Amino acid sequence: MTNPIPNPQTPDASRPDPVSRYLANFDRDRANKANALLSTGPRTAAGKQRSSQNALTHGLTAASPVLATEDPAAYQLHCRQFLDEYKPATPTETQLTQELADTAWRLNRIPSLEAALLDRGANPPSQQARIEFDIVDAHRALATLGMHYQRLSRQFQKALNQLREIQSDRAERERRDLKDAAALLEFHKHKGVPWKPADHGFVFSKDRVEAFAQRLIVLNQSRHIEDVRFHMRPPARTASGV
């Protein structure tokens, strides 16, 4: 680490000493921070116009998730991937799945917005753009994008948790009803009496109940074999060793 204290044995009158440079930098940084705190927003006409169009430009709070500059076909494919993954079975599940897709679409836009903002500052397209570029506005825009990212991430996680809870409850109810329907099916088979799931208010097809019943029978048989092969204790030996 470089020592910030100048060496009095080797003075250099051609440039300020390190302490002076440090104090000058400190004063400049403090002034910059004070000016930033006093800033009330964009100062140039172009900056004010950009600020007034922020919501339209980034579209992160717009009613429609798709901007005019984005590909509707890509958005439809994006939504289809979410529907294929979560397979919603009710209107509520469909709405939550659509909310996930829209929120993810907006979240995926933010990195490209940040990259475009940084690129515009580093490589302005014209001299006029270089003059109009406001570093304070740029920092504020980056901070705003960061806040939008956090907000959208929380919104995505909340919708995901709700969807998972609803689907878990539905799957548990469905499994319980299928188990009851399979028991009634086997009971009527044993009695030799025809039976249809609708007779007891079930919405499943008879083929589905049959498949579930066969699965339960095979699972019970496999568990019996498992107990015999892996968990049953060997018979105790007698004193004669037999």
Predicted confidence pLDDT, tens digits, the chain (242 residues): 444 444 444 445 455 444 344 334 434 544 554 454 444 555 555 555 444 344 446 678 778 888 888 999 999 999 999 999 999 999 999 999 999 999 999 999 999 888 877 777 667 666 666 656 666 677 787 888 899 999 999 999 999 999 999 999 999 999 999 999 999 999 999 999 999 999 899 999 999 999 999 999 998 888 878 777 777 776 666 666 55
pLDDT of residue 140: 82
Cα 141-144-148 angle, rounded to 5 deg: 140
Residue with tokens 């800033």: 39
pLDDT of residue 237: 67
Task: Please report how the helices 91-122 and 72-86 are oriented relative to each other, as an axis angle in degrees rounded to 10.
Answer: 140
pLDDT of residue 52: 39
Instruction: Please state the pTM of the whole predicted model.
Output: 0.61
pLDDT of residue 24: 45
| Three-class SS of the chain | CCCCCCCCCCCCCCCCCHHHHHHHHHHHHHHHHHHHHHCCCCCCHHHHHHHHCHHHHHCCCCCCCCCCCCCHHHHHHHHHHHHHHHCCCCHHHHHHHHHHHHHHHHHHHHHHHHHHHHHHHHCCCCHHHHHHCCHHHHHHHHHHHHHHHHHHHHHHHHHHHHHHHHHHHHHHHHHHHHHHHHHHHHHHHHHCCCCCHHHHCCCCCHHHHHHHHHHHHHHHHHHHHHHHHHHCCCCCCCCCCC
pLDDT of residue 221: 86
Through-space distance between the first and last CA atoms of the chain, rounded to whole angstroms: 82
pLDDT of residue 175: 93
pLDDT of residue 47: 55
What are the sequence ranges of the domains in the chain?
Answer: 59-172, 176-230
CA separation, residue 7 to residues 26, 70, 163, 239 (Å): 21, 61, 68, 96
